[in-house]
Amino acid sequence: MPRINLLPWREEQRKQRLKHFGMAAAAAIGVGVATVLYAHATMNRFIAHQNERNKYLETEIATLDKQIAEIKELEATKERLLARMQIIEQLQRSRPEVVHLFDELVRRLPDGVYLKSVKQTGNRLSIKGVAQSSTRVSALMRNIDSSEWLTDPGLDVVETVEQGRARNSEFTIFASQVSQAGDAAGQGAVEETQKVEEGKKKAGQPKKKPEQAKKGAEGSK
């Protein structure tokens, strides 16, 4: 019976398996290294792109901050200009009021009273003068109370002083000035509102048709 030696074939098969395993391992290692490198490069690209976006956002935020600062400065300038305009308007309104005020003081002075000084702080007046008697001071206060330009009179000081043979009363009284400009502006606003309301009512009324207008004219005939 012949003998067959199978050892060389098995040895060859084992070598082939080891070779295939080595190739597969090398391929797996290569794929793993390539995957790691690709992932690293991808992450670097993402990081670089995000950094660019962050820089862009920082630039835009700095621009917006600058614009906001400019807007705040403009608003502050606007507030200052509005305050100046209000002061100018108030001064323009108060010019004729000063004339009316002095004219009203002259008209309200009773006989036997003359003024030494008039001091105004805001709408409050401090009036100093001399009267022949305290009764005339009371008459002056009543006249001020009935005035359209002055109101709220109050007595501060009244003293009797001798000037030669005459005895006079030096007085200091307070009063408040009534601003007519604000009342006129309010009245004008009320009138303007009434005109607008009347215009709305007229616009809301339905128009008559030609036939209805014709019938109405015939009926009136």
Q: Render pLDDT for 76-108 as a digit per residue (tens, 0 to 9).
A: 999 999 999 988 887 777 777 778 888 888 888
Amino acid at 128: K
Say whether pLDDT at 201 is over 50: yes
Q: Render pLDDT for 67-78 as a digit per residue (tens, 0 to 9).
A: 999 999 999 999
Structural domains of the chain sorted by starting position, each given as residue range(s) with its CATH number in brackets: 20-189 (3.30.1360.100)
The predicted pLDDT at position 48 comes to: 92
The predicted pLDDT at position 164 comes to: 74
Q: Render pLDDT for 5-48 as a digit per residue (tens, 0 to 9).
A: 555 767 777 888 888 888 888 888 989 899 999 999 999 999 99
Say whether pLDDT at 54 is over 90: yes
Give mean pLDDT, residues 188-216: 52
Rounded to 5°, angle at Cα 12 from 11 and 14: 65
What does pTM read for this prediction? Answer: 0.44
The predicted pLDDT at position 185 comes to: 44
Positive or negative CA dihedral for 146, 149, 151, 157? negative
What whole-number distance in Å separates Cα of residue 133 and Cα of residue 166?
A: 10
The predicted pLDDT at position 51 comes to: 93
Upper half-sphere CA count for residue 98 (Cβ side, 13 Å):
11
The predicted pLDDT at position 134 comes to: 85
Greater confidence, 182 or 141?
141
**% of the chain with per-residue pLDDT over 90:** 28
Residues 6+ apart with CB under 8 A from 160: 134, 167, 168, 169
Mean pLDDT of the chain: 79
Say whether pLDDT at 214 is over 50: no
Strand 124-131, strand 150-163: pairing: unpaired
